[in-house]
Amino acid sequence: MSHFSQVKTQIRSLEPLQKALTDLGVNWKSGDAPMRGYEGNTTVADVVIEQENGYDVGFQWNGTAYALVADMQFWQQPWTVESFLHKVTQRYAIATVMGESTQQGFSLAEQQVREDGSVRLVLQRWHG
């Protein structure tokens, strides 16, 4: 028997989450969308990623953060769950930093992906 499982995250803002998924090339739907699960079970998620096998993956607000919700038995993404969460969390952090920095007048001068997979951002702000 299979069911929806929740994986805790530190993702607290919807817009950077959506940008992270887009940056990773993941197609998603937003806005209290139904998620399909085992034997026709559904749950509502804030972001839904439809899978070809008919079992969706999503992110659902749990009161403090957006948890990853999926029926892990039917996971059908190009990455493992752990790798997927790592990539989403990294892109989420970049989107959050860039959003906050832009509001404070900074612009991206350079972005490097290092050999270990970490990302180095160089921001600049001109004073007039």
* pLDDT, mean of residues 102-116: 92
Instruction: Spell out the residues 6+ positions from residue 37 whose beta carbon is closer than 8 angstroms to its own.
Output: 2, 3, 4, 43, 55, 56, 71
pTM, two decimal places: 0.88
pLDDT > 80? residue 127: no
**Number of domains comprising the chain:** 1
pLDDT for 2: 57
Percent of the chain with pLDDT over 90: 85
Domain that holds residue 28: 5-124
- Which region among 5-9, 53-57, 94-98, 123-127 has the lowest average model confidence (pLDDT)? 123-127
Question: What pLDDT does 3 receive?
Answer: 86
